[in-house]
Structure 1
């Protein structure tokens, strides 16, 4: 009896998914299931900084064909034909999805969606979101990013028995060890390199620099914090988007570069990775993230840093990992109120210690191992007698 075959189709392969696919491949093999991942090449002019490639035994690259810069077609049909289950990102702009949903409805192919269920950053009531809601239950299975995604799917009449909550995560175990491994001597040397005093209270932002991340708000609140807390310094890690296939985005890198020129206590460090990135996290006392929350919250918790954000409707499902007053703070969408909330937490040593402990506990719970196990169980349930 031949092994069941699972095909996952991605527009591109992000660095943060590499460990997930490698681990899922090994886990499914033990269950007699073969995993293949199809992922697209980069559009000319796109950034390669956040993308990678898989071992050929697990994945293969296909040509991305973009129409009107917004609609994506990938030639993966020979692999689709051989697969017992095809898993795709729930995205209207991916033309293949519409054909796959039709195959699912006709009973010719098992097809699963993997995603948020909705675009939280899209206008409510938009035609795209309306259409997306109408197709939610037209696949064989759902791999929901989070419990909140699963609840949303249930509210839209998707049967509970075809929903798997994967608890979206990335491999932060190595990053956590790297942060814990930074010695006091290394911290002191880094403070010196940055021309920061030993008593510096460091706020950190690490992530993309585009409009929904609200870097302008971050700068405004940092200025207010500095006025009340002279020992405060802000470190910013990340880069602006260089790829624009998903729609119009605006880089806010020029904003932070200008702020760093104007304010000697703001350091823009550019993109950082691995041990170097871990060292900056080890210096910080708080992760400040006033804009749309995504996977960055996992890095924050892996490093034991309390996570501070605003109560806005732009967040991804990962905002559910924030437990207000336990591992971070969900603060009003007002620069004054946000800076005051951060200030109070930073100055109250007992409260700050509690938030640190909560962040570290969350980091130990939100693991890639759990996500892989959840995903495997969903695959097994979907395949049923095939596996």
Structure 2
């Protein structure tokens, strides 16, 4: 191993919510004398419409071009020629050319991803290709236990090579900000948002989140309860569809940290009729239940929610809205019980770092860069 080993993570792009995790991993590896970079591209399509791309100093560009394979276009990516990582951490995806090339070459390969088709029907062939790639890797990291179990049971991976590391936004800071709201600040919040039925949506405004359903549900809720408001936080290609709801929706393009924590004090639930995703962690940090539907593609983070933290309502906007209002009015929602075992940046970064250190053969215990 070189005097200054290098770990490179590849990503489609670096969204704002990922920066705290990568900063934490970079700090942990740095104390062991290990360099850390993220090789990322630029968002396109619905990802670009979210407007959350960041360019931290530890990010480097990945060169990419679209290559036609039959009826579909696949991104062919290449690392900068002078970037020679000791460990490459890349996406667990069947057609990830960077991972395939690495699997036939020198150096360690760690794959990171869902582990099972949570967000689409990839098909049996795609699964088999992904399992073959995963078996060629030195280690695989999944977000949730369900993804790990799927790879071990269906993909026949060695259980010792696969670890579920979790996934998180900066939940510790969000909870601290929530707990820091004092009586005076609460009075100001309630002056802006007088007590009334109120729900929250947080996420990208794109098709996977079922924005049309969300808008219809907000309209139905406002018709039944004239004081109702849905606070929508996020940007995306379907943003203009919110206008159809009129005053039933109050839109805030961005609310993170302290701003999001304040909103947590004036709502009774989070409405996510489509993909739940990482908002599950925000909900746990704020002690809010997620009202959702039987939508098939909720992403792995939905597994983090226990009974009562995830409430499945009818898959019809009007019925969804009416049932949600009933639950909010009956005060059957848990009394903001704040679980201590929620995923955090610290816990996810620690598990991520442990996997990388194991592949580098670095023993436990701190190591100075100049040791």
TM over 0.5: yes
Q: Determine helix, strand or coil for the equivalent of 2:178.
A: helix
CA-based RMSD: 2.9
Q: What secondary structure, in the 3-state scheme, does the structure 2 residue paired with 1:365 have?
A: coil
TM-score by length of 1: 0.82
Count of residue pairs the alignment pairs up: 358
What is the Cα deviation at residue 189 of structure 1?
A: 4.0
1:365 aligns with 2:337: no
Q: Map residues 6-85 of structure 1 onto 2, 5 A cutoff.
A: 6-41=7-42, 46=48, 49-55=51-57, 58-67=58-67, 70-76=73-79, 78=81, 82-85=84-87
Cα gap change, 1:118/1:210 in structure 2, threshold over 3 Å: closer, same or farther?
Answer: same
Q: CA deviation at 1:187?
A: 4.6
Question: Which of 222, 240, 245 does residue 254 from structure 1 map onto?
Answer: 240
- 8 Å contact 1:257–1:268 — kept in the other structure? no
The Cα of 1:17 is off from its aligned counterpart by 1.4
- Supply the distance in 2 between the matched residues of 1:54 and 1:124 (Cα, whole angstroms): 33
Separation (CA, whole Å) in 1 of partners of 2:258 and 2:296: 33
* Deviation at residue 157 of structure 1 after TM alignment: 0.6
* Contact 2:116–2:151 (8 Å) recurs in 1: no
Written as runs of structure 1 = structure 2, the 5 A alignment for 1:178-197 is 178-190=177-189, 192-193=191-192, 196=193
Matched, 1:112 2:110: yes
| Alignment match, 1:317 | 300
Could you say what secondary structure the match of 1:272 adopts?
A: coil
2:144 corresponds in structure 1 to: 146
Could you say if the C-alpha distance between residues 386 and 266 of structure 1 is closer, same or farther in structure 2, counting changes exceeding 3 Å?
closer
> Where does the alignment leave 5 or more consecutive residues of structure 2 unmatched?
365-371
- Deviation (angstroms), 1:182: 3.6
Counterparts of 1:220 and 1:142, CA distance in 2: 41
Q: 1:288 to 1:168 in 2, by over 3 A?
A: same
CA distance in 2, matches of 1:185, 1:331: 35
TM-score computed with the length of structure 2 as normaliser: 0.85
* CA distance, structure 2, for counterparts of residue 93 and residue 328 of structure 1: 33
Maintained 8 Å contact 2:94/2:133: no
* Residue 292 of structure 1, CA deviation: 0.7
Partner of 1:295: 278
1:286 alignment partner in structure 2: 269
By how many angstroms is 1:176 displaced?
2.4
**Structure 1 unaligned runs (5+)?**
241-250
Q: Deviation per CA, 1:104-132, whole angstroms, max 9, x where unpaired? A: xxxx2221110002332322526434432
Paired residues of 1:239 and 1:270 also in contact (CA < 8 A): yes
Greater length-normalized contact order (CA 8 Å, ≥ 6 residues apart): 2
Cα deviation for residue 137 of structure 1 reads 1.6
